[in-house]
Structure 1
Amino acid sequence: MTDFPPRPQPVISCRNVWKVFGPRPEAALAALRADPGARPEGHVTAVHDVSLDIMPGEMLVVMGLSGSGKSTLVRCLSRLNEITAGEILIEGQDIGKLNEAALIDLRRRKMGMVFQSFGLLPNRNALENVAFPLEMRGQPRAARIERAREMLALVGLKGREGYFPRELSGGQQQRVGIARSLAVEPDIWFLDEPFSALDPLIRREMQDEFLRLKGMLKKTIIFITHDFDEALRLADRIAIMKDGRVEQIDTPDRIVLQPATDYVARFTAEIDRARVLHVSGLAGPVAGRAIEGPALPGGHTLRDLARRLVNDSRDWIPVADGTGRVTGMLERRHALDILLGEAA
């Protein structure tokens, strides 16, 4: 009998969570449950019956247009907003039942947060800004300064430790904010549109930097954006929200190939699918086909492998995982149709 390793448990579990803003949220929620079409006057349903799990080391990107509820949902996950109904578990612990002291302790030990506004202290230099949360913990000065230096080096700001926020560019200020959130060694990292205020070139650089940190640090990350290109570039899974509801939560490949609703389909309509779709997501089972010749790396996109696909003459091409094990077969004609457009 084969013993399978235990399935990892979610870091965050969100069960039937509602957040209603207004003077009588519980009464408004009762009206909504009785009549889903109800519009309780003076109330706004920002999160509508959301359930999801976030696994260890996963990066979940939450996206949607302004007013979709994405920021409110993440603020509920960290209990910056109290939910109206439902349950949120962090590593199996119901955070709604924690008293204020226990909640503050959980945030200090487990969570890092980065928001659109950098929130740097103007009268403290970069090193002191990064060390500030450690000071709040009561950590000795020498230890917190050493840690702050390490984090600034990690985000590429070695040599800028003595600069004040006004002396740093927008991208550098954002890096200080990221370093500050990492200084407390969080297991869970919440980022609410952290790059939205940056110009396109700096934004791209910060995405590159973030992907590097993600690969090194193995954090569980919840990242909010309204930019679909950014979501596709960064996410393990994407949750698309509309009117407080999660319309679809899935891998970027599946969201592009199999949109669950018309709303999600409109999000993906203008996307260059060859730049998004990975060959592993398009590969079918081997199903007895002969495995001949070199395999394609499954983690690469069709755009990455365009030249190889055009020059290959095989009808079916093996696809391998990161260890070199063949996991499926890619139909070359289908891949070329996506890459070049279907033949007339």
Structure 2
Amino acid sequence: MSSETPVISCRNVWKLFGTNPRKYFEKMTNDHSFDDIRADGYIAGVADVSVDVQRGEMLVIMGLSGSGKSTLLRCMSRLHDITGGTIEVDGQDIMALSENDLIELRRNKMGMVFQSFGLLPHRSVLENVAFPLEMRGQNKHDCRDRALEVIKLVGLEGREDYFPRELSGGQQQRVGIARSLAIEPDIWFLDEPFSALDPLIRREMQDEFLRLQDLLGKTIIFVTHDFDEALRLADRIAIMKDGAIEQCDTPDQIVLNPATEYVRKFTQEIDKARVVHARTLMDSTSGETPTGDPVSPDATIQDLARRLVSDTSESFAVADDHGKIIGVLPRQRALDVLLGDN
């Protein structure tokens, strides 16, 4: 990962729910388990989580219902006050911010999209998207111009005067996304934004989301319970269980090298060939470079399947977009992933 200061840095973060969580937390010992905490009448929504999010990264937090993924996102945005640990945003301890400073942070740096669209039913698309800008106190002309700009960005041009009831579920979600983008946030929090959509619309929204991220380069924390969605969207995936992060790594490394039995069970049904990239399996260049057309480091093993089967070369050169050789992909190593021997 990048060596620059993380945009979000969580250190030993706890969020307990119960009658007096802070007092209980102060008495906890290091060997308190999730079950011990529950037996005492408390719930560990987040349990000793430490994770950094780098600028421009898309971190996908996933897990089963009740694993703590949404709670962690809400802690990062301080929709929940944490019980212990620290969370810094751009070097600021967000728990130390006054209410006014927190409001300013959210208005100027954070965008949020949730599963429920939360649209105002008696406002048009344009008025819904312009709403957070109005709350900032911007003049009406600037609000309208910016709202029209992001409506076009999410593919809703021509529907500015529609009301939410006149839109499909996917279109309503696009309005929610446009509304959160209107304030030009540096950090974008999305809590299962596509889970209420039909599978085909969901896939379209994922495509749209990837397009937006390619254009805008936001720092994104995206919550989902769908592993396929996580694999498709993430730079890194944090898999949670009982409030703790079991593993946080790239999709390639999670499917190739699950850190725990819980993670292994998550990945066992995944076709690794469609997740693992040539970059992950390649060796650094040393000695003679293989002949033949080089492969892209971003090609999945599934993309290379035909060549792996038909070309009996021991290895293939891997070249970047400029044609520079950056590594060597051993054919047998790739075949092991393709044929399920890895």
AA aligned to 2:193 is: P
Aligned CA distance change for structure 1 residues 273 and 135 (closer, same or farther; 3 Å)? same
Matched, 1:36 2:32: yes
Equivalent in the alignment of 1:244: 243
TM-score (norm 2): 0.96
TM superposition shift of 1:116: 0.4
Residue in 1 that maps onto 2:272: 273
Counterpart in 1 of 2:205? 206
CA shift, 1:34, in A, is 4.9
Structure 1 position 341, deviation (Å): 4.3
After TM superposition, give the deviation of residue 291 of structure 1 in Å. Answer: 3.3
Paired position in structure 2 for 1:157: 156
Equivalent-residue separation in structure 1 for 2:15 and 2:340 (angstroms): 44
Tell me the secondary structure at the aligned position of residue 83 of structure 1. Answer: coil
Residue of structure 2 equivalent to 1:3: none
**Is residue 289–residue 328 contact of structure 2 (8 Å, CA) maintained in 1?**
no
Give the secondary structure class of the aligned counterpart of 1:68: coil
**What does residue 114 of structure 1 align with?**
113
Alignment of 1:1-344 (within 5 A): 7-37=3-33, 38-39=36-37, 40-341=39-340
Structure 2 residue matching 1:47: 3-state secondary structure: strand
Aligned equivalents of 1:84, 1:100: Cα separation in 2: 18
Inter-partner Cα distance in structure 2 for 1:171 and 1:303: 30
Deviates more, 1:156-165 or 1:39-48: 39-48
- Matched residue SS, 2:28: helix
Amino acid in the other structure paired with 1:29: F
Q: Percent identity?
A: 64
Q: Which segment is superposed worse, 284-293 or 263-272?
A: 284-293
CA distance in 2, matches of 1:172, 1:253: 32
- Tell me how far apart the structure 1 counterparts of residues 42 and 304 of structure 2 sit (CA, whole Å): 51
Compare 127-136 and 286-295 and name the one that shifted more. 286-295
Name the CA distance, whole Å, in 1 between partners of 2:6 and 2:304: 34
CA–CA distance in structure 2, aligned partners of residues 92 and 324 of structure 1? 39
**Mapped partners of 1:262, 1:341: distance in 2:** 18
CA shift in 2, pair 1:123/1:43, >3 Å: same
The amino acid that maps onto 1:124 is R
1:299, 1:322 within 8 Å by CA — same for their partners in 2? Answer: no
Q: Distance in 1 between matches of 2:244 and 2:161?
A: 45
Q: Deviation of residue 302 (structure 1)? A: 1.1
| In structure 2, distance between residues paired with 1:227 and 1:197 | 12
Whole-Å Cα distance in 2 between the matches of residues 143 and 254 of structure 1?
45
Amino acid of the structure 2 residue aligned with 1:51: S
**Partner deviation per Cα, 1:264-318 (whole Å, 9 max, x = no partner):** 0000000000110001111122232433222110011111222232232311111
RMSD: 1.4
> Residue 225 of structure 1 contacts residue 231 of structure 1 at CA under 8 Å; is this kept in 2?
yes
Task: Call closer, same or farther: CA 1:26–1:341 in 2, change over 3 Å.
Answer: closer
CA distance in 2, matches of 1:78, 1:64: 19
For residues 228-257 of structure 1, the C-alpha deviation after alignment (integer angstroms, 9 at most, x for no partner) is 000000000000000000000000000011
CA distance in 1, matches of 2:100, 2:23: 29
CA contact (8 A) 1:131 1:145 kept: yes
Q: Which whole-Å CA distance do the structure 1 matches of 2:322 and 2:262 have between them?
A: 37
**What secondary structure sits across from 1:88 in the alignment?**
strand
Q: TM-score with structure 1 length normalisation? A: 0.95
Please list the CA deviations of residues 147-185 of structure 1 after superposition, one character each: whole Å capped at 9, or x if unmatched: 111111100100011110000000000000000000000
- Say which SS state the counterpart of residue 121 (structure 1) adopts: coil
CA distance in 1, matches of 2:25, 2:288: 55
Q: In the TM superposition, what is the alpha-carbon distance from 1:339 to its structure 2 partner?
A: 1.7
> Residue 15 of structure 1: SS of its match in structure 2?
strand
- For residues 232 and 323 of structure 1, the distance between their equivalents in structure 2, rounded to whole angstroms, comes to 27
CA distance in 2, matches of 1:44, 1:340: 43
Deviation for aligned residue 1:329: 1.2
CA contact (8 A) 2:114 2:193 kept: yes
List structure 1 segments (4+ residues) > 3 angstroms apart after TM superposition.
none
1:151/1:73 Cα in 2 relative to 1: closer, same or farther (>3 Å)? same
Q: Where do 5+ consecutive residues of structure 1 fail to align?
A: 1-5
Q: Give SS of 1:335's match.
A: helix
